[in-house]
């Protein structure tokens, strides 16, 4: 079988971080399944999702790690930042405390990822306009000051969810094109994967997973 246009050529690793209950798992679910999970239990651990997207004609496989937001797990979830090409940092627009903690999440992200990691700020639950506790403007200003990309989104309605994940990928892809992101660096969070279907069946994917386990 010849290498065709449907195999992916890159793997990007994403992490989703933010306080407990801001909707990280729901965002992931909305992105991978196009559905809203109404009774989403607290994540106790790190959930894992995947989807293949297309950027500039390139198929890219996103490997998304959705982390537990509870404070008591903070020390453990820090292990998962390493090697992320994209970090989606989420707060809840109806709970100011989740917004106030952003600087601490951002510090972790900056310390534990590499400089080329794309950080995207997401103000989730924008469908709950009536309960808004954080204005768009102040969050936008925070994002600008810290050089983050930013949207308000809703995991419930799906608004801007797709955009946030895809825009992050585009930015990462752009970094690769510009040479800002070194694919050979062990922790770039990007794997270039020339399509080799014959070989994939036996080893390379497994290899990749193993690399990721060394948390």
Partner 1 sequence: MLLPTHENVINIVQAKFSCTEIVKTLHLNASITQKEWLDENRILALVEHDSTFALFIIISEKLKPESFSDLTIERAIPIDEHFSCDTDPIPESYTHIIFSIIYKKIKLNFVIEIGFESSNFASEVIRLKEISSLNVNDFHWLDKYSSGVSQTEINLQDPAMNDQSPDLPIARQKIAQGHGISANRESFLRYQLSLKEPEYTHLQEFSIFVGTWNVNGQPPTISLKNWLSIDQEPPDVYAIGFQELDLSKEAFLMFDTPREAEWRKAIMDAIHPDTKYRSVAYVRLVGMQLEVLVNNSHYKYIRNVAIDTVGTGILGKMGNKGGVAVRLELHNTSLCFVNAHLAAGVDEVERRNQDYNDINQRANFRRHPYTIREHDQVYWLGDLNYRITEQSAVQVKKHLANEDLASVLLADQLNQQKDLSKVLQDYSEGDITFQPTYKFDLNSDVYDTSEKARAPAWTDRVLWRGKGIHQLAYRSHMDLKISDHKPVSALFKSEICVVDQNKYRKVHEELLKKMDKLENEFLPQVTVDQSEVIFDIVKFREPQYREIIIANTGQVLAEFEFIKKLDDVSYCKEWLSITPFSGCIKPGEKCDLRLTVNLEQPLENIYDILVLHLMGGKDMFITVSGECQKSCFTTSIATLSRAPVPLLHLTPDQFNHAENQQSPILYSIPRELWLLVDHLYRNGLKTRELFESTALHEEIIRIRDWLDLGSMDQIPGSIHAVAEALLLFLSYTRDPVIPYHLHDTCIAASSNYQNCKQIIMQKMSDLDRNVFLYLSMFLQELLKYSNENGTDPKTLATIFGDILLRDPIRNSRPQANRGKASFIYHFLINDQSSLIMPCK
The nearest distance, CB 7 to partner 1, in angstroms, is 6
Q: Which of 1, 115, 178, 179 binds partner 1 (CB under 8 A)?
A: 1
Region 70-89 residues binding partner 1, contact defined as CB under 8 A: 72-73, 75-76, 78-80, 82
Q: Select the span of 43-51, 113-121, 127-135, 152-160 touching partner 1 (CB under 8 A).
A: 43-51
From the list 19, 11, 180, the residue with the least C-alpha distance to 106 is 19
Please tell me whether residue 44 binds partner 1 under the rule CB under 8 A.
yes
Q: Is 9 in the site for partner 1 (CB under 8 A)?
A: no
Cβ proximity to partner 1, 39 vs 210, nearer residue: 210
Please count the other Cβ atoms lying within 10 Å of the Cβ belonging to residue 125.
Answer: 26
Which residues inside 169-208 make contact with partner 1, applying CB under 8 A? 195, 197-203, 205-206
> Which of 61, 62, 64 has its CA nearest to residue 6?
61
Residue 160's H or E segment, with its range, is none
The region of 39-47, 130-138, 152-160, 163-171 touching partner 1 under the rule CB under 8 A is 39-47
**CA 60/CA 57 separation, integer angstroms:** 9
Nearer to partner 1, 44 or 184 (CB): 44
From 21, 40, 12, select the one nearest 94 (Cα to Cα): 21
- 110 contributes a contact to partner 1 by CB under 8 A: no
**Residues 104, 89: contact at Cβ < 8 Å?**
no
Q: Report the DSSP pairing between strands 10-18 and 190-192.
A: antiparallel
Three-class secondary structure of residue 171 per DSSP: helix
DSSP 8-state assignment for residue 39: T
Which parts of this chain interact with partner 1 (CB under 8 A)?
A: 1, 3-8, 32-34, 44-52, 61, 68, 72-73, 75-76, 78-80, 82, 195, 197-203, 205-206, 209-210, 213, 215
């Amino acid at each position: 079988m010849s290498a065709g246009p449907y195999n992916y050529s890159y793997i990007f690793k994403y992490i989703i971080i933010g306080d407990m209950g801001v909707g990280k798992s729901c965002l992931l679910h909305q992105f991978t399944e196009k559905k809203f999970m109404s009774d989403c239990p607290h994540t106790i651990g790190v959930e894992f999702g995947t989807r293949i997207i297309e950027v500039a004609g390139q198929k890219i496989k996103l490997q998304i790690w959705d982390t537990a937001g509870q404070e008591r797990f903070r020390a453990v979830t820090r292990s998962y930042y390493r090697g992320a090409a994209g970090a989606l940092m989420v707060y809840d627009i109806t709970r100011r405390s989740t917004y106030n903690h952003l600087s601490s999440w951002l510090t972790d992200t900056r310390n534990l990822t590499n400089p080329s990691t794309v950080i995207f700020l997401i103000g989730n639950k924008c469908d709950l306009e009536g309960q808004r506790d954080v204005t768009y403007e102040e969050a936008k200003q925070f994002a600008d000051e810290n050089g983050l990309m930013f949207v308000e989104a809703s995991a419930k309605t799906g608004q801007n969810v797709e955009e946030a994940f895809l825009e992050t990928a585009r930015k990462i892809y752009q970094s690769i094109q510009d040479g800002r992101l070194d694919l050979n660096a062990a922790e770039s969070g990007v794997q270039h994967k020339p399509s080799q279907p014959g070989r994939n069946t036996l080893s390379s994917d497994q290899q990749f997973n193993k690399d990721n386990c060394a948390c």
